[in-house]
Amino acid sequence: MKSNELRKTRRLRRKRGIRKRIRGTSDFPRLTVFRSSKHIYAQIIDDDRGVTLAEASSVGKALRGQLSGGGNIAAATTVGTALAEAAKSKGVERVRFDRNGYRFHGRLKALAEAVREAGVRC
């Protein structure tokens, strides 16, 4: 197995373990993050109803012009702030953070801190 395939397989295994423990409800929706080398995507999901309540990404129309690049900490902070604003407009004040198998550092940590600073507890 090549190193990229092995890395992805390990992340997906960690993701399954995390998803066994974290489930989004109407009271505590799940904030999940996906990152690629060039962009970062985040969404808030109510798993009980199967509905995405809010989303933000570095490729979305609202943020595309503001960012110099989508794969850095500054972009993750901007995406986190935009996501928190969208969540608060929908009445979401608390979420459960789903790191999606990624380590909690760098862009993931910057996004989570931006969401917290904008007023959404996670």
Q: Report the CATH number at residue 70.
A: 3.30.420.100
Confidence of residue 103 (pLDDT cuts 50, 70, 90): very high
> Kindly report the CA angle at 80 between 24 and 47, in degrees rounded to 5?
15
Query: What pLDDT was estimated at residue 85?
Result: 96
Structural domain count of the chain: 1
Residue 48 lies in a domain: yes
pLDDT of 17-36, one tens digit each? 988 888 888 889 999 999 99
% of the chain residues with pLDDT over 70: 100
Residue 28 lies in a domain: yes
Query: What pLDDT was estimated at residue 9?
Result: 94
Query: What pLDDT was estimated at residue 64?
Result: 82
**pTM given for the model:** 0.89
Mean pLDDT of the chain: 93
* Plot region of 101 (φ>0 → left; ψ -120 to 50 → alpha; else → beta): left
Query: What pLDDT was estimated at residue 2?
Result: 82
Residue 99 lies in a domain: yes
Structural domain boundaries enclosing 83: 3-117
